[in-house]
Amino acid sequence: MSCTAEKKQTLTITNPLAVERAEVLSIPYTDFKQIYNRSEAFRLIDEKNKEYTYQLEKGEGDSTQNVLVWVELPANGTITLQVQPGKPKPMEARTFARYVPERFDDFAWENDKIAFRMYGKALEGRPDNAEGADIWAKRTDKLVVNEWYKKGDYHKDHGEGMDFYDVGMTLGAGDIAPYADGKIIFSKHYREYDVLENGPLRSMFRLKYEPWEVNGKKVSVTKTISLDAGAQLNRVTAVYTVEGADADRLPVVAGIVLRKGEGGQAMKLTDAKVAAYWEPAHGADGTLGIAVLGESPIDSITENNGHLLAHFTATSGKPVIYYNGGAWDKAGKITNAKQWEEYLRNEQEKQEHPLAISIK
């Protein structure tokens, strides 16, 4: 029997940027097991005995793939965490996603900042049919999707926010579609869904679409969308399957519908891989900022078909990855086009300079 004391390993997280960061950190579970390779529950504690909340993420796998941790770091700051056996403190969910059969097969999701929905099969053919991504303006950190659907009065602001975004037959707030002969080639609405994660720090789901014709090719798509606590943007992974010639080159666009009226500002931030829009004011409802940020290379950003379009080239079976989302001025955090651009540039910089993880 060995009398050697077990060495306590620590997890050190460093912010390499000169800006404050509050975000969900994803630690690969294979790395995390170097610190804690036991089956029982655990707590994450820093040097000041502060406990950090976490989520074990399976995602698209059958077992835990990542440990998601909510962290807040100052500019160029560092925190050190130890793992201790024990039941973690309760955490209120900050993200949520669900299928909404009571509203024509909607799929809705949200976090503590913003909410979204995509449209399902039952909406097709109706006078109120719409195509792209819808966004709901929020000014509460509460999760409101269930309550708003139950009351059915979410087109009025009762102090928490509202849905005043008009999607129509457009890509709305950053949906993606093939692009051929200068036109957006819309699919029908999603046919299948699968909730992969549902909080408390990240919700993730998959939407599947049936094949349709695109410029002589048979095309289908699966979209996997995730939203983290504290984020204004979703991460979207679109995988197209293409049958026919030139399957390695399918032009696609992630687009933002442009509005009539004064005060709107479209921003083509090619250096930051961002297509952004600060809408004209919607009367007393306020103003929304909408954006598409590329993780996959953006070929170009143009204004066509009443949209601001981020152009990508999809290859059959391989993902196109980008971010979409928005911000509402009445939420009080981002209140004008300049602040929206600054937020997006910071997000792009964070992607290029992720938090550093060291195990000692």
pLDDT tens, position by position, 78-93? 999 999 999 999 999 9
What strand order describes the sheet that includes 250-257? Answer: 183-184, 173-180, 250-257, 307-314, 300-304
Q: How many domains does the chain have?
A: 2
pLDDT for residue 292 is more than 50 = yes
**Residue 130 and residue 41 in one domain:** no
Q: What is the pLDDT averaged over residues 287-292?
A: 98
**Residue 192 and residue 318 in one domain:** yes
CA torsion 84-90-93-97 (nearest 10°) is 80
Q: What is the pLDDT averaged over residues 326-355?
A: 97
Euclidean distance between CA atoms 76 and 111, whole angstroms? 27
The answer to whether residue 358 is domain-embedded is: no
pLDDT for residue 5 is more than 80 = no
pLDDT for residue 129 is more than 60 = yes
The answer to whether residue 285 is domain-embedded is: yes
Residue 7's pLDDT is what? 53
Euclidean distance between CA atoms 217 and 211, whole angstroms? 10
What is the per-residue pLDDT across 142-185, written as a single tens digit (0 to 9) for each? 999 999 999 999 999 999 999 999 999 999 999 999 999 999 99
Residue 248's pLDDT is what? 83
CA torsion 29-31-33-34 (nearest 10°) is 180
CATH code assigned at 70: 2.60.40.1180
Specify the residue for token string 């992974």.
237
Q: What is the pLDDT averaged over residues 323-339?
A: 98
| DSSP H/E element including 313 | strand 307-314
Other beta carbons less than 10 A from residue 10's beta carbon: 14
Residue 4's pLDDT is what? 40
pLDDT for residue 49 is more than 90 = yes
The answer to whether residue 3 is domain-embedded is: no
133 HSE (CA, 13 A, CB side): 27
**Residue 99 and residue 87 in one domain:** no
Least confident of 75-84, 193-202, 240-249, 295-304: 240-249
What is the per-residue pLDDT across 57-71, written as a single tens digit (0 to 9) for each? 999 999 999 999 999
pLDDT for residue 218 is more than 80 = yes
Q: What is the pLDDT averaged over residues 243-272?
A: 92
CATH code assigned at 151: 2.70.98
Residue 3's pLDDT is what? 39
Q: What are residue 106's DSSP bridge partners?
A: 100
pLDDT for residue 36 is more than 60 = yes
Q: What is the pLDDT averaged over residues 248-276?
A: 95
The answer to whether residue 60 is domain-embedded is: yes
pLDDT for residue 8 is more than 70 = no
**Residue 182 and residue 279 in one domain:** yes
**Residue 15 and residue 102 in one domain:** no
pLDDT for residue 307 is more than 80 = yes
Residue 245's pLDDT is what? 74
What is the per-residue pLDDT across 102-128, written as a single tens digit (0 to 9) for each? 999 999 999 999 999 999 999 999 999
Query: Phi/psi zone of residue 262: left (φ > 0), alpha (ψ -120 to 50 degrees), beta?
Result: beta
In terms of residue numbers, what domain contains 156?
Answer: 95-350
**Residue 177 and residue 274 in one domain:** yes
**Residue 167 and residue 292 in one domain:** yes
String of b and e for 317-336 (b: at least 16 CB within 10 Å)? eebbebbbbbbbbbbeebbe
**Strand 265-269 relative to strand 274-278, pairing:** antiparallel
pLDDT band of 9, cuts 50, 70, 90: confident
Name the residue among 291, 292, 286 with its Cα closest to residue 328. Answer: 286
pLDDT for residue 6 is more than 60 = no
Residue 2's pLDDT is what? 40
- Do 270 and 299 contact (CB within 8 A), yes or no? no
**Residue 142 and residue 70 in one domain:** no
**Residue 59 and residue 163 in one domain:** no
**Residue 291 and residue 257 in one domain:** yes
The answer to whether residue 2 is domain-embedded is: no
One-letter amino acid at 310 equals A
Name the residue among 325, 327, 322, 323 with its Cα closest to residue 312. Answer: 322
**Residue 146 and residue 252 in one domain:** yes
Residue 244's pLDDT is what? 78
The whole-chain average pLDDT of the chain stands at 95
**Strand 21-28 relative to strand 42-46, pairing:** unpaired
Specify the residue for token string 């900022």.
289
Assigned token pair, 163: 């849905």
Least confident of 46-50, 198-202, 245-249, 260-264: 245-249
Euclidean distance between CA atoms 58 and 223, whole angstroms? 17
Residue 1's pLDDT is what? 38
**Residue 199 and residue 167 in one domain:** yes
Euclidean distance between CA atoms 68 and 26, whole angstroms? 5
Residue 323's pLDDT is what? 98
The answer to whether residue 133 is domain-embedded is: yes
Angle 203-206-211 (CA atoms, 0-180°, nearest 5)?
160
